[in-house]
Amino acid sequence: MTSPERTLVSADTLKNAYLTMERLQRRIEEYERARTEPVAVVGVGCRFPGGVTDIATYWRMLTDGIDAVGDIPADRWDHDAFYDEEAGKPGKIYTRSGAFIEGLDRFDHDFFGVSRREALAMDPHQRLTLEVCWEALEDAGQAPSGLAGSDTGVFMGTASSDHVTSRIRHPEDVTAYTSSGAAASFVPARISYLLDLRGPNLAVDTACSSSLLAVHQACQSLRTGECDMALAGGVNVVLSPVLLISQSQFGSVSRQGRAMTFSDAADGYVRGEGCGVVVLKRLSDAVRDRDRILAVVRGGAVNQDGRSAGITAPNGAAQVGVYRRALAAGGVRPEHVGYIETHGTGTRLGDPIEAGALAEVYGRDHGAPVYLGAVKTNIGHLEAAAGIAGLIKAALCVSHGAIPPNLHFTRLNSNISFEGTTFDVPTRVTPWPETEGPRTAAVSSFGLSGTNVHVILEQAPSAAPPPADHRRPAGVLALSARTETALTALARRYADRLADGDGTPLADLCHSAATGRTHFRHRLAAVGTTREEVADRLAGFVRGDTGPGLALGEAHGSDVVFLFTGQGAQRPGMARGLYDTQPTFRRAVDECARILEPLLDRPLLSVLFPDDPEDRQINETAYAQPATFAVEYAMAELWRSWGVTPAAVLGHSFGECVAACVAGVMSPADGLAFTVQRARVIQEHSLPGTMAAVFAPEEEVAAEIAAHPDRIAVAAVNGPASTTISGDRDLVEVVCAAFAARGVKAKPLHIASAGHSPLMEPAVEPLRRAADKIAFAAPRIPLVSNVSGELWPWEQVPGADYWGRHVRDTVRFADGVQTLRDMGHHTFVEVGPAPTLLGVLSDALPPDHDDLLLPSLRPKHDDWEVLLETVAELYAAGVDIDWHGFDGDYTRTKAPLPTYPFEPTRCWEPPRPWHGDRPAAPAAESTAEAGDDSHTRPARSSRRSSRTRRRPSRIPTATELRGLAEPEQLDTLAARFVLSVKDVLGSASGDVGLDEPLTGFGLDSLMAVELRNEIQDRLGLTLQITDFLGGATIRSVAERLVKELAATGGDSETDTPHDRSGAPTAIRRVPRAADTAAALLAEFTSPPQGSAAQNSGPEGRQ
């Protein structure tokens, strides 16, 4: 018989086993969900033939039935030298047709931080990919700069070697940039390098299926968690006749020069070029992030033809297999698919095999039609980019619910039968067929070498847009660009977008522009309440007008100082507009009201926002100070939630209590409690009196009141000619009259007490006792003291004694401002109910100052109007606004916006002649500036590497510099150094700013070696290579050289300082922990001891 104990053990064991099985089952289900999770297409960038620059122009071209095939451009190669209409002739091409994109010879190298010199050596595949990936991210509403350090992956299909075969014909054509400029692996690597992406980075080459396989690989990487976002696509550029010669021998190129997929007239394909990139995220992530979803990748599959009829011959059985596996991976039944974007090359062999394989899987003799199409009929065969062109087309089809026409289709290929299927080839724009569930499409791409890819796309899940959130009545449209001209072009694009009348709320457009774009140096911010108002302001800016509501500037990373207004600026209803419409501000005020509830006789909100318009109790000290504290503290919290954190704080009189709270000296609860006690002590213990402002220097005012030290005093020194007096009312009036008689303005202040005067003496000790109950701490943000006008010492706590004397001692506001300006601060935001301190500060500054003085609130003005104009000004000055935080309290939807207006310049080498009896073109590094289209080159016997040719130096000699006055030396050296930098960059027209990092213009270690050698030759000073890299600027290098030159003395530029061994003494920078790699680079590129610096090799990653 089983004992009760054993029965109990058995029951517990079974229970634990059951729970374990449940956990394991949940794990398996979670794994399966992750493994098969759909992937959302949240952004697209594309450049295709026919003037296609985005998905809007792509869809227009497709639905308009445009044939983008034309003649081969003359700048690719001399086609007349290769053309022969007779098929099969060695070295000849029997077609003149191809599909080409415009502007391939132009590239905005400055934008991407690439020197023109390097850009000339870059494969156009890389250049095109850079621009399209940037546009894809912008289309996704993702600021490219915001991905730095993320595990974002890049998967690019690329299979062409045209750049190498067309541009590198002799050993002398190889430069230091050939390795990175020509290798296929650098196509995706450029993107990860530019954006500092740390996720997977793959160049995929399976010939014609490369880009669709790149998408499939990206989806798999997302599902396994290797990356959380991926850029995937492909690129193809036609630069060389080699492949066309080969395909002409093979017979696969169309003699008619048109791709006629599935048509009985089809005779081959047409070469095409272009680039397409999609931004992919897991569907759950895209829904969470409220992304705009164009379509969803349900599943995909890849396989190989294996041993078909020939290594380039398709295999129908393999195609059937990849279809079925893709459908199974996506959990989709064949009958749900309404459109198939086929590989469809238009060859006599390939089309029938593909149609037969499709019929075996998707064919049925009843039901809705299944349409077959191929974008190759519009733009030719984009080879490595063919699959992505088809996928983007299919995504647009499921999104729009329509299928564009298949061009050049007249009669079905006689070797194809649609019998027993519902297949059809659309010859006009066709509505999506009625199928069960979401619209679903399939996309095929087959590689010449046998790799087959099939992907299932589905309509994006429907989601009702959230209701428009109009609580904030106005918006800030923040625009920026790398150059002034690009900013103007961008403003023009946005003005057109705002005027297009699509109904997108202004708030959503502003939010998308602010959060979905990288912010550059040249900035423009427009404030407005309607789309029309902002559009008009942008249009005015484009015309050259700068009216109200516009802020224009250059970002210089301004730090912001918060100024906290003292008592006297309060008023009934202050900040009511913000309280009603800004949740963060409201929460902070409500929290202050909650803290004050047991401390005040009347609720704070009833004092701030009284029902009776005649209620003026807020002007009583007992309520004025707590109400002012609450509004200023809430305003500081609002600014901080928007990313505007103070670099320092300064308050005026009572305002220092709020400043100290914001600086962390006391908690909000303690700060409010102390404020209430301070107000009560002043009311109960101070003697009656008043205050007045006298617009005269402190010394003159002090002399006037010197006879009455126990009745009147200088209460505040606000500026060189702005002094506040405080004391007995009669005496204050006498002093004011005396100054008025001299023609000096003096006016009484509406304050019920005589602060910072002898009349406050009775309040000092009670106030000290009240402060003694507060737990004060050392400031965490630089705090400038009213009492001393100096920065409060770190690690020192402003204690009870300080706060007791604070109410009695003179407010040295002018000294405090000067302390801040001496620290380098020139942007001041008054965090108070009125710009009282800004007026005082403005009067105290020199007339030619460029300080930025901005209010948060202003009496008799709409709260949002004042506040948003300040946001705009701060943004234009370079303050980093947290735009996500700025809109964090509101419901916003991502909206489509214009992409960046690149400013490409000509970066193109003439094609190398293909016949030995003609001279070759110049090497990349010696190619002249953009306007030089020379096609000639010296004979090989006279050829010299550009690295061995010396160019005239722009840098002055040491003697020339020493002959200038000291202030002129830096300006002259910087101006000449700019020219040298432009020389090594290979661009005479680039905008090289004095204070921008040299690496931002594309300066690399090879160029740094040249600059180092030039400086050594001209000035006799030796810098490390790393001194030009990192954050080095024109100005920083020039300042260093001038300083070092002054230290060396002597009259000759050849007098290089030496150590005792006789080797030149290098200028060394202070090492940093992160400079290990730079130090190694410097070691390998430093000049050999005992000799002049030689050309050392550039950095390399082998």
Query: Which candidate in 343, 454, 511, 826 is catalytic?
Result: 343
The predicted pLDDT at position 971 comes to 79
Dihedral (CA of 789, 790, 791, 793) sign: negative
Query: Could you give the CA distance from residue 482 to residue 937 in angstroms, rounded to a whole number?
Result: 36
The predicted pLDDT at position 353 comes to 96
The predicted pLDDT at position 686 comes to 86
289: which 2 tokens?
A: 């992030």
Amino acid identity for residue 928 in this structure: A
476: which 2 tokens?
A: 């800030």
The predicted pLDDT at position 1073 comes to 37
The predicted pLDDT at position 32 comes to 64
The predicted pLDDT at position 373 comes to 97
Classify each residue of 383-393 as buried b or exposed e, where b means 16 or more C-beta atoms within 10 Å of its C-beta.
bbbbbbbbbbb
pTM of the complete model: 0.86
Contact 129, 155 (CB under 8 A): no
Query: Could you give the CA distance from residue 817 to residue 860 in angstroms, rounded to a whole number?
Result: 27
Query: Could you give the CA distance from residue 368 to residue 423 in angstroms, rounded to a whole number?
Result: 9
The predicted pLDDT at position 1015 comes to 81
Dihedral (CA of 484, 490, 495, 496) sign: positive
Closest CA to 282 of 135, 113, 153, 421: 153
Query: If you search the block for the tokens 């908690």, which residue do you land on?
Result: 667
Query: Could you give the CA distance from residue 591 to residue 626 in angstroms, rounded to a whole number?
Result: 13
CA atoms within 13 A on the CB side of 971: 5
125: which 2 tokens?
A: 């595949």
Contact 80, 96 (CB under 8 A): no
Query: Which candidate in 46, 208, 275, 736 is catalytic?
Result: 208
Query: Could you give the CA distance from residue 218 to residue 232 in angstroms, rounded to a whole number?
Result: 6
Rounded to 10°, the helix 1076-1085/1005-1019 angle is: 60
Q: Give the count of beta carbons closer than 10 Å to the beta carbon of residue 728.
A: 20
As a whole number of Å, the CA-based R_g of the chain is 36
- Which residues of the chain are under the pLDDT cut of 50? 917-949, 1050-1102
Contact 194, 108 (CB under 8 A): no
The predicted pLDDT at position 892 comes to 95
Closest CA to 104 of 139, 69, 129: 129
The predicted pLDDT at position 418 comes to 96
Beta strands in 26-79 (DSSP E): 39-47, 70-71
Closest CA to 72 of 218, 238, 193, 307: 238
The continuous run of DSSP H or E covering 223 comes out as helix 210-224
The predicted pLDDT at position 1089 comes to 40
Contact 865, 548 (CB under 8 A): no
985: which 2 tokens?
A: 């960059």
Query: Could you give the CA distance from residue 148 to residue 157 in angstroms, rounded to a whole number?
Result: 23
Measured distance between the N- and C-terminal CA atoms of the chain, rounded to whole angstroms: 76
Strand 370-373 relative to strand 423-424, pairing:
parallel
Beta strands in 337-415 (DSSP E): 337-341, 370-373, 402-403
For residue 920, what are the CA distances in angstroms to 182, 314, 485, 738? 19, 40, 37, 91
In the chain, how many H helices and how many E strands?
36, 29
Query: Which candidate in 336, 381, 454, 511 is catalytic?
Result: 381
Closest CA to 883 of 493, 575, 480, 578: 480
Query: Could you give the CA distance from residue 94 to residue 79 in angstroms, rounded to a whole number?
Result: 10
The continuous run of DSSP H or E covering 522 comes out as strand 522-528
DSSP state of 208: B
Q: Is 381 known to be catalytic?
A: yes
Query: Could you give the CA distance from residue 327 to residue 155 in angstroms, rounded to a whole number?
Result: 23
The predicted pLDDT at position 947 comes to 37
Do you know the residue count of the chain? Answer: 1102
DSSP state of 383: G
